[in-house]
Amino acid sequence: METAARNSDVVRMLEEIGDLLEVKGEQNFRVNAYRKAARAIADLREDIGELYLAGRLREIPGVGEALEQKIAEFLETGRLGYLERLQAEFPPGLLTLLEVPGLGPRRARVLYETLKIESLPALEQAARSGQIRDLPGMGEKVEANILRELERLKQRSTRHPLEFGLSQARDLLAQLRRSAPVAQAAFAGSLRRMRDTIGDLDLLVVSSEPERVAEAFTRLPRVVDVLSHGPQRASVLLRGGLQADLRIVPAESWGAALQYFTGSKAHNVHLRELALRHGWTLNEYGLFDVKTGERLAGEDEDELYRRLGLQPIPPELREDQGEIEAALRGALPALVTLDDIRGDLHVHSDWTDGSAPLATMAAAAAARGYQYMAITDHTKSLGVARGLDEARVLEQRALVDRLNAELAPFRILLGTEMDIKRDGTLDLANEALDVMDYVSISVHSAMNQPREQMTERMLRAISNPYVTTLNHPRGRLLRRREAYEVDLERVIEAAAQRGVALEVNAQPERMDLDGFWARRAIQAGARLTISTDSHAPGQLDFMPLGVASARRGWATRRDVLNTLPLDELLDFLGARKAAARHARGLT
């Protein structure tokens, strides 16, 4: 049985209660009870739904009888009456004030009670006109701080990480299905194309009662503002700053609407040109003959593409980057799928900065149906992560061998995520690499070196014949850190020549390589790995994000190293190691 919410949903729910109680002026101990439980659940290694089903919620620190009941209700139904009643006590805009860092629930309450501020624009206006400095507990410094944070909020990319969009969209559709009659529902827009970042959520549903659905949508718990609202559509602003657009369409235009609202715009424009050449017109209602008005397609999306003489085009490719030409020739690539993935090649344990023991991570990987997993803990120069030195590597080798005897046929590969030092030398001696099964390398320090230096550094690093994979090659963190300055084309070229794979890292904030660079890598003849960089068992579930990036890069199964079955992967790695030894004059 599946519960209606995941750990992160429960954490958000409890934090929201804490915030609302504080805005209300409740006593600290009540507020803190929710926050403490939220933190404990955020740190949980187990799925809270499973704990609930096993009757073990009370084992979570800070969860007593009252909280147990609330969490149970939320897990069962995806909503919580208590929270909804609390939310109803405030104007929805007031809650957006809590998104201003440093403002906090108490000050939000003062602003609301004294100046009737209940939106970010109103807050900005009050701060600009100097009305805030004289309020109790504020002052000029707080006022200036509010203005600065508001500016930052605006600048902080209006785009959001894909994973955030996906989880929000899943919640919204689940809640909508519970509150109105929905016959069919899907994601559209950049969310369906699985772009690494999304500008807003586009949702599409079929319903016999569109007005009821639109109405219900504007009343969902996370909605803080209704931007527009009609009989067949609604646009809302969600807590967290994301906009969501909902369209309700009749069943006969489902395929056409899905096609149109999936985009991209450039893809649609090109497709419409193609239709016009046949004397047809294409819009969100269907494909029509211009002269007769006859409807040629519209109910089914694949059918619509076929009618235009095209292979159905996977959403990830719809960027007008040659996919329409390829589909016309019947030459679309057979894109790699999640099912093709045989193992995860980037996983951490509590030997360094992971949260779980190696055995737990291996069991979690095996439970996902994988044949193998590479344990790739950090190396010694990454002090913050208590990176491993050569002696610890030997200890880990012994543990991996012991576990493998128990877990067969599942196989743990002893790997490393070895630091590339600032001069491009590697963190571990070749003797240590020689006891490993899989060597991957990463830049984690001196990340703002000039372009030429960073490029030389990476080139030097991948020239070590023990190296199999260069991890997260661009080093960007969405909303936090720009990519390294590096001539990635040159690095890709060299990697292709040396047979070094480039990682498509599936961490939601990394998504590195993204689709664009993954495609460049494949075109250059390099191989990819798709891995999660998991630091906890649940993060193994990020794999679909990596697969999506690779698909956006036109990757087929053969372009991806970890689609190989275990025996073929072992042959491949064995051959690389033999070559490395040969280069060192060992054989």
Applying CB under 5 A, the residues found at the interface with Zn ion are: 417, 533
199 lies in the site for ligand DGT, by CB under 6 A: yes
198 lies in the site for ligand DGT, by CB under 6 A: yes
Contacts of 247-252 spanning 24+ positions with Cβ under 8 A: 247/188, 247/202, 247/203, 247/204, 247/205, 248/205, 248/206, 248/207, 248/210, 248/213, 248/214, 249/204, 249/205, 249/206, 249/284, 250/206, 251/183, 251/184, 251/206, 251/299, 252/286, 252/298, 252/299
| Residue 196 interacting partner from ligand DGT, Zn ion, Ca ion, none (CB closer than 5 to 8 Å by kind) | none
241 lies in the site for ligand DGT, by CB under 6 A: no
The pair of three-digit structure tokens given for residue 220, joined into one six-digit string: 């969902």
Nearer to ligand DGT among residue 73 and residue 320 (C-beta): 320
Name the minimum Å distance from CB 190 to Ca ion.
5
User: What count of other Cβ atoms lies within 10 Å of the Cβ of residue 62?
Assistant: 16
Name the minimum Å distance from CB 188 to Ca ion.
8
| Residue 319 interacting partner from Ca ion, Zn ion, ligand DGT, none (CB closer than 5 to 8 Å by kind) | none
- Name the one residue in this structure whose structure tokens are 């950049």: 190
Residue 369, burial from CB neighbour count under 10 angstroms (0-12, 13-18, 19+): exposed
* Window of 189-197, 436-444, 499-507, 546-554 that interacts with ligand DGT by CB under 6 A: 189-197
Nearer to Zn ion among residue 127 and residue 356 (C-beta): 356
Name the minimum Å distance from CB 159 to Ca ion.
10
How many binding residues for ligand DGT (CB under 6 A)? 14
Name the minimum Å distance from CB 298 to ligand DGT.
16
The answer for 416, left when phi > 0, alpha when psi is -120 to 50, beta otherwise, is: beta
DSSP SS3 for 581: helix
Rounded Cα–Cα distance for residues 543 and 4 (Å):
21
**In three state form, how does the secondary structure of 291-328 look?**
CCCCEEECCCHHHHHHHCCCCCCCHHHCCCCCHHHHHH
Tell me which residues in 101-140 interact with Ca ion (CB under 5 A).
none
Alpha helices in 180-252 (DSSP H): 189-193, 210-218
CA distances from residue 511 to 242, 472, 474, 486, 571 in whole angstroms, order as listed? 20, 8, 10, 17, 29
The pair of three-digit structure tokens given for residue 139, joined into one six-digit string: 């002052």
263 lies in the site for Ca ion, by CB under 5 A: no
| Residue 343 interacting partner from ligand DGT, Zn ion, Ca ion, none (CB closer than 5 to 8 Å by kind) | none
| Residue 263 interacting partner from Ca ion, ligand DGT, Zn ion, none (CB closer than 5 to 8 Å by kind) | ligand DGT
Name the minimum Å distance from CB 111 to Zn ion.
42
Name the minimum Å distance from CB 563 to Ca ion.
31
200 lies in the site for ligand DGT, by CB under 6 A: yes
| Residue 116 interacting partner from Zn ion, ligand DGT, Ca ion, none (CB closer than 5 to 8 Å by kind) | none
The kind and range of the H/E element at 372 are strand 372-375
Within 435-584, strands assigned E span 438-442, 469-470, 501-505, 528-531
| Residue 163 interacting partner from Ca ion, ligand DGT, Zn ion, none (CB closer than 5 to 8 Å by kind) | none
Name the minimum Å distance from CB 510 to ligand DGT.
18
User: What count of other Cβ atoms lies within 10 Å of the Cβ of residue 22?
Assistant: 22
Instruction: Enumerate residues 6+ apart whose C-beta is below 8 A from 105.
Output: 19, 20, 22, 23, 98
x/- string (CB under 6 A) for ligand DGT, residues 249-278?
Answer: -----------xx-xxx--xx---------
| Residue 265 interacting partner from Zn ion, Ca ion, ligand DGT, none (CB closer than 5 to 8 Å by kind) | ligand DGT
Name the minimum Å distance from CB 473 to ligand DGT.
24
202 lies in the site for Ca ion, by CB under 5 A: yes
The kind and range of the H/E element at 568 are helix 566-583
* Window of 44-52, 81-89, 137-145, 194-202 that interacts with Ca ion by CB under 5 A: 194-202
| Residue 533 interacting partner from Zn ion, Ca ion, ligand DGT, none (CB closer than 5 to 8 Å by kind) | Zn ion
x/- string (CB under 5 A) for Ca ion, residues 141-180?
Answer: ----------------------------------------
Q: Which residues pair with 512 in a beta bridge?
A: 505
Name the minimum Å distance from CB 189 to Ca ion.
3
Nearest Cα neighbor of 470 from 494, 445, 446 is 494
319 lies in the site for ligand DGT, by CB under 6 A: no
Residue 510, burial from CB neighbour count under 10 angstroms (0-12, 13-18, 19+): buried
Question: 18, 49, 105, 189: which one contacts ligand DGT (CB under 6 A)?
Answer: 189
189 lies in the site for Ca ion, by CB under 5 A: yes
Tell me which residues in 433-462 interact with ligand DGT (CB under 6 A).
none
Torsion of the alpha carbons at 12, 222, 69 and 108, rounded to the nearest 10: 70
| Residue 261 interacting partner from Zn ion, Ca ion, ligand DGT, none (CB closer than 5 to 8 Å by kind) | ligand DGT
x/- string (CB under 5 A) for Ca ion, residues 238-257?
Answer: -------x------------
DSSP SS3 for 132: coil
Name the minimum Å distance from CB 197 to ligand DGT.
7
Name the minimum Å distance from CB 346 to Zn ion.
6
Nearest Cα neighbor of 196 from 476, 413, 464 is 476
Nearest Cα neighbor of 342 from 543, 179, 71, 481 is 543
Name the minimum Å distance from CB 255 to ligand DGT.
15
9 lies in the site for Ca ion, by CB under 5 A: no
Name the minimum Å distance from CB 550 to ligand DGT.
19
Edge-first strand order for the sheet with 469-470 is 343-347, 372-375, 411-419, 438-442, 469-470, 501-505, 528-531
- The amino acid that residue 370 corresponds to is Y
Nearer to ligand DGT among residue 48 and residue 194 (C-beta): 194
* Window of 190-198, 212-220, 425-433, 435-443 that interacts with ligand DGT by CB under 6 A: 190-198
Decide: 109 and 24 in contact? Cβ < 8 Å. yes
Decide: 562 and 376 in contact? Cβ < 8 Å. no
Which residues contact ligand DGT (rule: CB under 6 A)?
Answer: 189-190, 195, 198-200, 202, 260-261, 263-265, 268-269
Q: Residue numbers of the site for Ca ion (CB under 5 A)?
A: 189-190, 200, 202, 245
